[in-house]
Amino acid sequence: MRIFGISDLHLSFSSNKPMDIFGDNWKNHAQTMEKNWDSLVLDDDVVLVPGDLSWAMNLSEAKADLDWIGKRPGLKILGRGNHDYWWSGIGKVRKALPKGCVALQNDAFDVGPFVIAGSRLWSSPGALDYKQSDQKIYEREQLRLRLSLEAAKKLAPNKPILAAVHYPPFTAKKPQTEFSKILEEYGVSICVYGHLHGKKSHETAVVGEIRGIKYLLISCDFLNFAPVQIWPKK
């Protein structure tokens, strides 16, 4: 078993949302991801997909996108992003998921060598897209991150924690936030995140080991639309 990651799939099989308006590299990106995913991942692998899965506005509209994810190899552990408007109550989401998919929302899932904690987070002070109006959500998401990490500790007390979150826990301009402090408090081993797109945003990403935690940006355009192997290290 290996653990892969790829975030921000931005699928739109049931809606008209072509991603190539954001750059030529996004042209036919779903087909590119399908080819790369299917060639790299085996059925007994795990793939972390923390957010911005579909442009759909409701669950019925998201079905085609979720079915596409379900057909890909591996156990897919899904999280919610800021654009997942179709993601309603977690019970409804889990009931609608195809076989081979697990939804995380402020909780955790044991995959064997790691326990996966999942949370959305939000824009942190110092981020390019942070506004003062984000402060309340930023504070609320700290509580939700704690819930997921507490769940991980309870589920598998002796296993390392791999946190799969949508927003980056901090930015290059602000090397420590309340999110990163919480991750450190719970002794997280690895943290993967997405949300950042384009060269300007990618340059703000923190990648590498910081205060004992290995951080990885796994936005699909940053990865050239191919899942990256997180564990074991190549």
pLDDT in tens, 127-161: 878 899 999 999 999 999 999 999 999 999 999 99
Average pLDDT over residues 90-101: 97
Q: Is the pLDDT of residue 29 over 80?
A: yes
Q: What does pTM read for this prediction? A: 0.95
pLDDT of res. 21? 60
Straight-line distance from the first to the last Cα atom of the chain, in angstroms, rounded to the nearest whole number: 13
Residue 86: DSSP 8-state: T
Asked if 53 and 84 count as a contact pair (C-beta separation under 8 A), the reply is yes
**Where residue 45 sits, what CATH number does that domain have?**
3.60.21.10
pLDDT of res. 87? 97
Q: Is the pLDDT of residue 25 over 90?
A: no
Token reading at 213: 């935690």
Nearest-angstrom CA–CA distance, 21 and 31: 17
Average pLDDT over residues 120-126: 91
pLDDT of res. 174? 75
Token reading at 152: 């991980």
Instruction: Say how many C-beta atoms besides its own lie within 10 A of residue 144's C-beta.
Output: 17
Average pLDDT over residues 172-199: 92
Q: Is the pLDDT of residue 22 over 70?
A: no
Is residue 180 left, alpha or beta, with left meaning phi > 0 and alpha meaning psi from -120 to 50? alpha
Q: Which domain holds residue 18?
A: 3-231
Burial of 171 (C-beta count, 10 Å sphere; 0-12/13-18/19+): buried
Token reading at 70: 């379900």
- Total tally of structural domains belonging to the chain: 1
Average pLDDT for the chain: 94
pLDDT of res. 195? 94
pLDDT of res. 91? 96
Confidence of residue 125 (pLDDT cuts 50, 70, 90): confident
